[in-house]
A and B are shown apart, each in its own frame.
Chain A
Amino acid sequence: MLQKKKKSILENWMKNQLVYEGLREDLISNDELRIQSEKLIDALVANLSADGINDLDSEKWSPVIEILGGISITRARQGFSPRETGNFIFTLKEALLLVLQEEIKDDPKTLYEESLKISRLMDNLSIVTFETFIKGREEVILRQTDEIAEISTPVIRVWEGILALPIIGTLDSARTQIVMENLLQEIVNTRSSIAILDISGVPAVDSLVAQHLIKTVSATRLMGADCIISGIRPEIAQTIVHLGIDLSSITTKASLASALAYAFKSMKLEVRRANTVQKL
């Protein structure tokens, strides 16, 4: 029965969706929306039969769930709100019920039973939609976390043989690992002999962070390069001493500039004013 009414369901559904005030025409065109809707209805109607209606786990429903999941995930990525995504499936429910009402309005008992079935089915489908929607969002968040970790640990080659690594934000174990890996790899790639670790962007240093710093310095040393820590702010110097952390085995400099000067000196390089060079 519903098979025959496919066309009118679709029309109703489209109408409902278009009427909805929160429709995001900026994110999705009407044509695209129509294609999505059509695909879903096709799959839905093809699988709609009296016996399997309550059993959403059965094999028969997997194409519908797949399509729905696909739509939901794309929407999550495109930046639809949960309300808008939910609306997509709830308007379909309304459309279905409307058709049902028209078809069997003479028989209230059957109408009631059928409506109940449809409601249950659509509720289940909307749960699936939200599940996948949230999953899609979580994927986005996860990817962004990775990206931030990547972005926030750049290794800069400031001079031939000198690397600088400005650390901005809190240093935790996971980040130290990334910092260390990037730094060591870069030492190998650029054959650098000095690495400057600038911690002026680190908001606080506790014993754990200090431990991580010492680890990084030791690892650099194992690679055959020297590591200088620069940019220690007064508050951090205070905490380090109060915590009784011993950084005496590590070369520390107040600023990146003085660290660079030290690096130049140990590489036997000299920086001079240009006009002096000309005179010579």
Chain B
Amino acid sequence: MDKIPILKMGPFLLVTIQVDLYDRLALTLEADLVQMVNKTRAKGVLIDISAVSIVDSFMGRIIGNIASMSKLLEAETVLVGMQPAVAITLIELGLPLNGVHTALDMERGMNLLKSMINDTSNIGDNEIEEDDLIVE
């Protein structure tokens, strides 16, 4: 069965969706990603959907789910590279994806994640953050 690779890079997980997601694949991704977040204690998830040209309400919901689940596991989700047509479709479907952070491309998404993690690390759990970075 097809699988979407989840790459680990420092405290982040990278997911690049390069094929059109069908329902089963999306569900697998959701399960895998949550497992990975848990296993690696990742602080951020970066999902690149620049190659996705078709979305439906199900896909939109899965992305929203991933964001909410990651949040529960202490990781922020950033969605990058959304195509204009996809954005319009999601809005028309009534899925503004409120819990998800967005960025124009991978680079900016990475910067956004880094700044978010710095914010939280400055507040309190500085030590844990440092540890994580050293381990990777």
Is B20 close to A, CB under 8 A? no
Q: A residues near B, CB below 8 A?
A: 177, 180-181, 184-185, 187-188, 191, 193, 215, 218-225
Contact B96 A224, beta carbon cutoff 8 Å: no
| A220 neighbours in B (Cβ, 8 Å) | 87
Closest-CB distance, B129 to chain A (whole angstroms): 24
Question: Which residues of B52-96 are within 8 A (CB) of A?
Answer: 79-80, 82-88, 90-92, 96
A-B CB contact pairs (8 Å), 21 listed: A180-B91, A181-B84, A187-B104, A191-B104, A191-B105, A193-B108, A218-B91, A219-B84, A219-B88, A219-B90, A221-B96, A222-B79, A222-B96, A222-B97, A223-B82, A223-B84, A223-B87, A223-B102, A224-B79, A224-B102, A224-B109
Q: How far is the CB of B133 from chain A (nearest CB, A)?
A: 25
Query: What A residues does B109 contact at CB under 8 A?
Result: 224
Q: A188-B84, A220-B87 are in contact. List 15 more A-B contacts (CB 8 A).
A: A177-B88, A184-B84, A185-B84, A187-B84, A193-B108, A215-B92, A218-B91, A219-B84, A219-B87, A222-B82, A222-B87, A222-B90, A223-B84, A224-B103, A224-B109
Contact (Cβ within 8 A) A224 B80: yes
In the complex, what residue of chain B is closest to A183 when comparing beta carbons?
Answer: B84
Q: Which residue, of A177, A180, A184, A219, has the highest number of chain B Cβ atoms within 10 A? A: A219
Among A181, A193, A218, point to the contact of B104 (Cβ < 8 A).
A193
Contact residues in B for A181 (Cβ distance below 8 Å): 84-85, 88
Residues of A within 8 A of B105 (CB): 191, 224
Interface residues on B, range: 20 to 34
A177-B87 Cα distance, complex, nearest whole Å:
12
Q: How far is A144 from B84 in the complex, measured between Cα atoms in Å?
A: 26
Which residues of chain B come closer than 8 Å to A185, judged between CB atoms?
84
Question: Which residue of chain B is the closest to A180 with respect to CB atoms?
Answer: B88
A221: chain B residues at CB < 8 Å are: 96, 102
| Complex-state Cα separation, A180 to B90, whole angstroms | 13
Residues in B neighbouring A224, C-beta threshold 8 A: 79-80, 82, 102-105, 108-109
CA distance A187 to B108 in the complex (A): 14
With a cutoff of 8 Å between Cβ atoms, the chain A residues found around residue B85 in the complex are 181
Across the interface, name the chain B residue whose C-beta is closest to A216: B91
Residues in chain A near residue B88, CB distance under 8 A: 177, 180-181, 184, 219
> Which of B87, B92, B97, B103 contacts A184 (CB under 8 A)?
B87
Complexed CA–CA distance, A223 and B83 (Å): 7
How many Å lie between the Cα of A188 and that of B80 in the bound state?
Answer: 12
Q: Which residues of B contact A215 (CB under 8 A)?
A: 91-92
Chain B residue, CB-CB nearest to A249: B98
Contact, CB under 8 Å: B91 / A188 = no
Contact between chains at B104 and A223 (CB < 8 Å):
yes
CB-based closest 9 A-B pairs: A184-B84, A224-B103, A224-B102, A218-B96, A224-B104, A222-B87, A219-B87, A219-B91, A215-B91
Closest B residue to A221 by CB, please name it.
B102
Bound complex: CA of A184 vs CA of B91, how far in Å?
A: 13
Q: How far is the CB of B79 from chain A (nearest CB, A)?
A: 8
A275, chain B: closest CB distance, angstroms = 35
Among B84, B85, B97, B103: residue with most chain A CB under 10 A: B84
In the docked arrangement, what's the CA distance between A221 and B103, Å? 8
CA distance A219 to B82 in the complex (A): 10
Q: Which residue of B lies closest to A188 (CB)?
A: B84
Q: Which residues of B contact A219 (CB under 8 A)?
A: 84, 87-88, 90-91
